[in-house]
Structure 1
Amino acid sequence: MLLLLAAAACFAGFMDAIAGGGGLVTLPTLLLAGFSPVEALGTNKLQGMFGTASAAYSYAKGGHVDVRKQLSSGLLAGLASIAGAFVATLLPADLLRAMLPILLIAVALYFAFKPNLGDIDRTQRLTPFVFGLTAVPLLGFYDGAFGPGTGSFFMLAFVSLAGQGLLKATAHTKFLNFASNVGGFIAFAFIGVVSWKIGLVMGFAQIIGARIGATFAMKKGAKLIKPLLILVCLALAVRLMMDPTNPLTRYIGL
């Protein structure tokens, strides 16, 4: 089981470094491994920190993101994630389990039908100041409260609202996603719902996958990851809905 979790983390790190959505792989895998929803969220934050840090370092080294200019946004994302993580501990466990397949299907459909995105910057719909006060803390809160898809949502927000090209948006996403992972991890560690052994093993695997993914993205872009992300989301959603313990499965009578 540990080897399977490490393999899932490596693949998630690779995918997340390119197009986001790594949590769509690791969180359902942790749930399927028998972790409670809250413990899965906490452990997911621990292992996810390694992958996002590795990817962010690679992009910064490649000159695709200025970390100093993103420090204030990173702080807001981290603080919002802490708040979201504490909210997550108050939500009913069945609610989180029921929401996940729906979210997976929604993200898969969105990626399937969204228009192609290029690497050329576009017109900004929000100024950097407004973007930092709205989209950044909102997605940071979501990352702490739930998590899966945060990287993808950050990337799309940078493209559609901040007007960044795909590669630049992905690079900035990794830094903010790292900040929100740190915030969420601090909250979950304080509560004591982190599996350290599993999280650290998966974190090491995340580093490997993220470095490969970031290098791949800077050289070739993210076109090949789109169909892969869609297939993974749908496959995991189907698998979770087939789980007889999932409240959504009981509700729809599968």
Structure 2
Amino acid sequence: MDSNILILMIATFFSGFIDAIVGGGGLISVPTLLALGLPADRVIASNKMIGVSTALAGTYKYIKSKIIVWEGLPKLIVFAFAGSILGSYTNSLMSPEFLRVFIFFTILSLFLYLTFKKEIEFKNLPISRYAPIFFPIIITALGFYDGFFGPGTGTFLIMALLYFQRFSLLQAGATGRVLNLTSNLASILYFSTTGLIDITFVLPAMFSSFIGGYCGASYSVRYGSRGIRPLLYFSVTGLLLKLGYDLFLS
């Protein structure tokens, strides 16, 4: 086996594991694809295929474990799909650079929140009367973001489900997988017309990320919120460091 493929498979196993639990797997897979020499314009498209494989594995495990909250989910799937198609199209028209500063400070606020807040679940609080209005807009925006740029979408989905729907951390991670799968599939529908998906790299990586995604979802089911929070903090910290480096040091 080619050493580059082996390195990629190891990296995407771990990216799948993390992504299936708290999102942020692209922190591992995207730099690996770049380091192995894949042209930058192919990285986002190829990474979407890896993301689909991870999300499929996680969704399958969460469905088997009956953790996904299906009430109202079909409508949100439509919003995530539409947002991602629009985001993928917009990505072909302009650079995502202008989003980096906004995303950096959003991630910074999440980092500070997770650092100083002992309880990050809102399940004991009533759902806001404005949630039915704003939540579909948030999901559409996150779908757009995933198609346009992508890093951290799974993490943002978890936080949105925690706040607007009052889900437990485990429910948010499981239900967020379905929405993340939707936005990734929508992106692939668009990118498949551009010829930017590198099948040579993608197929082995999809296999290893599927295994990683299934193992990650199994970890979530077994350990619940207690085991998820440290990895959520790890994911947010990694996103913050990566975006901070890209903005201020690279």
Q: Is the 8 A contact 1:108 1:229 kept in 2?
A: no
Give me the CA root mean square deviation. 2.9
Please say which of residues 134-143 and 108-117 is displaced more in the overlay. 108-117
Show the 5 A alignment for 1:236-247. Answer: 236=242, 241=246
* Count of residue pairs the alignment pairs up: 241
Q: Which residue of 2 aligns with 1:17?
A: 20
Stretches of structure 2 lacking an aligned partner (at least 5 in a row): none
Corresponding residue for residue 110 of structure 1: 110
Contact between 2:48 and 2:184, CA under 8 Å: does it hold in 1?
yes
SS of residue in 2 equivalent to 1:63: coil
- Aligned partners of 1:24 and 1:148 also within 8 Å: yes
From 94, 103, 121, the equivalent of 1:91 is: 94
Q: What is the percent sequence identity of the aligned residues?
A: 27
Q: Deviations over 1:170-191 (max 9, x none)?
A: 1110000000000011111111
Please give the alpha-carbon distance, in whole angstroms, between the structure 2 residues aligned to 1:72 and 1:158: 14
Q: Is the 8 A contact 1:126 1:161 kept in 2?
A: no
What is the CA distance between 1:248 and its match in structure 2? 5.8
In structure 2, C-alpha distance between the alignment counterparts of 1:4 and 1:21, rounded to whole Å: 19
Look up the SS of the partner of 1:161 in the other structure.
helix
Q: Aligned in 2, Cα 1:216/1:120: closer, same or farther, shift over 3 Å?
A: farther
- TM-score where L is the length of structure 2: 0.83
Q: Which amino acid aligns with 2:110?
A: Y
Q: Which amino acid aligns with 2:176?
A: T
Equivalent in the alignment of 1:225: 231
What is the rounded CA distance, in whole Å, between the counterparts of 1:143 and 1:122 in structure 2? 29
Distance 1:112 1:82 in 2: 32
1:65-84 equivalences under 5 Å are 65-67=68-70, 69-84=72-87
Q: Which runs of 5+ in 1 are unaligned?
A: 242-246
Match of 1:40 among 11, 35, 43: 43
Are the counterparts in 2 of residues 77 and 176 from structure 1 also a CA contact under 8 Å? Answer: yes
Instruction: Sort the Cα spacing of 1:145 and 1:122 in 2 relative to 1 into closer, same or farther, 3 A.
Output: same
Give the TM-score taking structure 1 as reference length: 0.82
CA contact (8 A) 1:117 1:165 kept: no
Distance 1:105 1:202, change over 3 A: farther
